[in-house]
Chains A and B, each alone.
Chain A
């Protein structure tokens, strides 16, 4: 065989792989190039930040510098970590309660969790002027009194690693199936399959392992998301952050944004991989009901929070709530509320009529994510600019192009990771016939 003929043969063999694996369509190449370009711009912006320092961003010191030290990066760190919640939760619930209708979206959820955790870790690294120092110092000097100990050990390390293991364990069978047919990824599939044999006893072993993993991951993720809430909620000197509702609020909003993202990603995957017969409207209806329950809980938390700070709050809390409800941040706050309530109305209407539309569920997923991003921003920023206990004037913070470029670069990187995964491995678990 000539060397020219080999790629052609590999290409033909790849055509036999399911879900468009290995086939680089013009649409996918355009998507890849666009996302790579945005990622490159983000990396350039980050390079400028690392070489010149955080002074090139819109962030400034608290108090005398009238700024905010935590800005867009921390808001998106919280958002990305929140998104990671739903993927693995849904995947775990599917295994524990054997919700067969949701099985086709399980791997999408697992992948979403892994990718968003990586993006969350990168977002918090972007917030640090010298990130390498943080890595060394957290390992060397981290101590349990600091919520960052939990963020580092539970979220970045434990949660990410557990999710990767879960993704691997649940993917071995598909790797073994794909390893049987010749393709350019055959070696990779063989390595991933690690000698997997699809026997009844192996299936029992897999089911048992994933069940216990799921049981271990669910408390881990509740602790992990609570820990992120504690980073804010335990700061007694920071009105707007200090409060018992922060941790549960973080967990619930994490669920809202995560399931919203899972719905959107599942709809895109369903369209891109032509798996309409696998990812059914029923699966979306399940996710929509789950989203609705969490959304109503979060809206209740919001009402309680607003009532508490407006009923009989101290002076600084009053200044903060005025900034949120009628002042500088009012458009973001009410924008978030309108987004969340609109999503709730969309979902309730479908639940009442019992007619579920993927388009409307997708819209609800997008709306809750707009609301979640805005709420994350409002949790992070206003308490720094409008809630000083010391007699400093009111501050301000506006993210500049460097920060937006880095954040957009992170989104593009996440899209790239998912896009590349879809071209290498089935993102929807294979059926027996495949």
Chain B
């Protein structure tokens, strides 16, 4: 595996990881007993999900623009 593949794979994994973690654990309320439960567990988790998407897709730019050997 070369640098291009390693970094691209890492970016995709980090992006997907952020999406999964923010969706399943941070954005989804875990209770339904009070009005406070209507909010996500952690504020800005939707923003984290979006950041995950951005990182995952930016990997394609790195993959094509990176100057190292194939």
Contact = CB atoms under 8 A, between A and B. Distances in A.
A139 B47 contact: yes
Nearest to B49: A153
B13 interface: no
Size band of the B side of the interface? 20 to 34
Interface string A207-223: 01100110010000000
A172 B44 contact: no
Nearest to B40: A143
A100 interface: no
Contact of B65 (A138, A195, A204, A208): A195
Nearest to A201: B70
Contacts of B23: 144
A172 B64 contact: yes
Contacts of B54: 157, 161
B41 to A, nearest CB: 9
Size band of the A side of the interface? 20 to 34
A205 interface: yes
Contacts of A162: 53, 57
A142 B64 contact: no
Contacts of B56: 216
B49 to A, nearest CB: 5
Interface in A185-206: 194-195, 201-202, 204-206
A119 to B, nearest CB: 20
A153 B39 contact: no
Contact of B70 (A139, A144, A157, A204): A204
Interface string A346-361: 0000000000000000
Contacts of B27: 142-144, 149
A153 B46 contact: yes
Contact of A140 (B29, B38, B47, B57): B47
A139 B50 CA distance: 9
Contact of A141 (B40, B60, B67): B40
B30 to A, nearest CB: 11
Contacts of A419: none
A98 B43 CA distance: 44
Nearest to B64: A209
B63 A209 contact: yes
B58 interface: yes
A168 interface: yes
Nearest to A162: B57
Given A149-B27, A161-B53, A142 B60 contact: no
A195 B66 CA distance: 9
Contacts of B47: 139-140
Contacts of A195: 65, 67
A208 B46 CA distance: 30
Contacts of A149: 27, 46
A2 interface: no
A153 B50 contact: yes
A313 interface: no
7 contacts: A142-B40, A142-B46, A145-B29, A153-B46, A157-B53, A169-B60, A213-B57
Given A140-B46, A209-B60, 16 more contacts: A138-B46, A139-B46, A139-B47, A139-B50, A140-B44, A143-B28, A143-B39, A145-B29, A153-B46, A161-B54, A169-B60, A169-B64, A195-B67, A204-B70, A208-B63, A213-B60
